[in-house]
Structure 1
């Protein structure tokens, strides 16, 4: 049974038009994103199956790769890309909702800004917040992805960006996909290197945040700076 043969109230697109977006369930929203189902089940049935597999969590769904999604019968490369793209739009919208030039008063403020970028990644990425004298964020930048080490993080690029934006303070951050909140020797080494370089340029390293899926570690809070 395809969506067009369902009762009108059960058709996601028609329901959207008749009752509004807030009337739709998560499965109905996903069905609209996919557009169609398989030969054996409607888009809505397929969407329910997918959402059930991730405990109806959009966050857990965002962790699935193209290959993971394509394991569901009826989900090909196009549908998989559509789902991932829609989730990426939601992620970017969340980032854009950050108030213009937010003020960083503590590590939690920095984590709130960075978690949307780093909490659900499967590989490591290195980001930086650039602050002015009032501790307002004036720029956010991704510097590397795929790992963190002295050879990967280019300190020159970090401080060139800081100088370009006339920053007086920076907060660096990276994620641990493993979920570990323990700072590695490499983490500590690159932190010290950046701190020393900043001192020469009168640009203070205010913190280094390690982000996991649902928590964070602050070098400043832990006395590691």
Structure 2
């Protein structure tokens, strides 16, 4: 059914203006971004298909759906390019929404102490790392008030391991005049439980940075839909 065929009060735009954005489903919100469908497929149907949960969890098959709104917003430009009906304008809008979300959370962490909002830290790192298909090691550099100064992706690895050099982390901490850091990496496998190697790496980095009077506040492991804080688990 076309949006034009719906009663006025059921159309996404009118519904949002009358009842607020929380009244809309994910598909309806996405339809507002997409604006138009394609031949033989209305915009609501197109939005619903893009959000469909895949049975096999294959992140390389965008035609089968991205697994919900979070999966779609973590899609790469190449993923979006494979979807029929997503032209340059629509792809640009979706990518812009993700970047706005990242910047909004980053701004909150720049204005408040990281320790006061651990949930925002996890959300921020999930936006950056959750959908990566390879392992990435990232460091959030904090000032003396534990507010975010910068976030840098320092190392990339394979699906199962990455090489992290304490010297490089220390040099970047000095560059940013950081007083503390939050370490983070993703597990493309989907599990967030830290491995023995993760724990060992955290201890090595903590010891190396302590020589520079830089504290390691946390090491967060991210996977699609979840994140684990090693500090909360008593592993720091």
Look up the match of 1:146: 156
Once the 2 structures are TM-superposed, how far is the Cα of residue 195 of structure 1 from its aligned partner?
2.8
CA distance in 1, matches of 2:201, 2:83: 42
2:178 paired with 1:167: yes
Q: Deviations over 1:50-108 (max 9, x none)?
A: 33556993223335555665666534565345334333433433333346141427976
- Provide the secondary structure at the position in 1 that maps to 2:94: helix
TM-score, scaled relative to structure 1: 0.70
Q: Which stretches in structure 2 are left out of the alignment for 5+ residues?
A: 54-64
- Provide the secondary structure at the position in 2 that maps to 1:37: coil
Once the 2 structures are TM-superposed, how far is the Cα of residue 218 of structure 1 from its aligned partner?
0.4
CA distance in 1, matches of 2:190, 2:87: 30
2:40 paired with 1:40: yes
CA distance in 1, matches of 2:5, 2:232: 60
- Provide the secondary structure at the position in 2 that maps to 1:97: helix
- The question of whether the paired residues in 2 share the 8 Å contact of 1:132 and 1:167 is answered with yes
Once the 2 structures are TM-superposed, how far is the Cα of residue 38 of structure 1 from its aligned partner?
1.1
CA distance in 2, matches of 1:207, 1:27: 36
**What is the aligned residue count?**
220
Q: Which stretches in structure 1 are left out of the alignment for 5+ residues?
A: none
User: CA separation of 1:48/1:210 partners in 2, compared to 1, >3 Å: closer, same or farther?
Assistant: closer
- Provide the secondary structure at the position in 1 that maps to 2:27: helix
Among 105, 118, 133, the alignment partner of 2:129 is: 118
TM-score, scaled relative to structure 2: 0.68
Once the 2 structures are TM-superposed, how far is the Cα of residue 140 of structure 1 from its aligned partner?
3.3
Q: CA RMSD in A?
A: 3.9
User: CA separation of 1:48/1:138 partners in 2, compared to 1, >3 Å: closer, same or farther?
Assistant: closer
Among 96, 99, 103, the alignment partner of 1:85 is: 96
Among 173, 178, 193, the alignment partner of 2:189 is: 178
Q: Higher RCO, 1 or 2 (CA under 8 Å, sep at least 6)?
A: 1
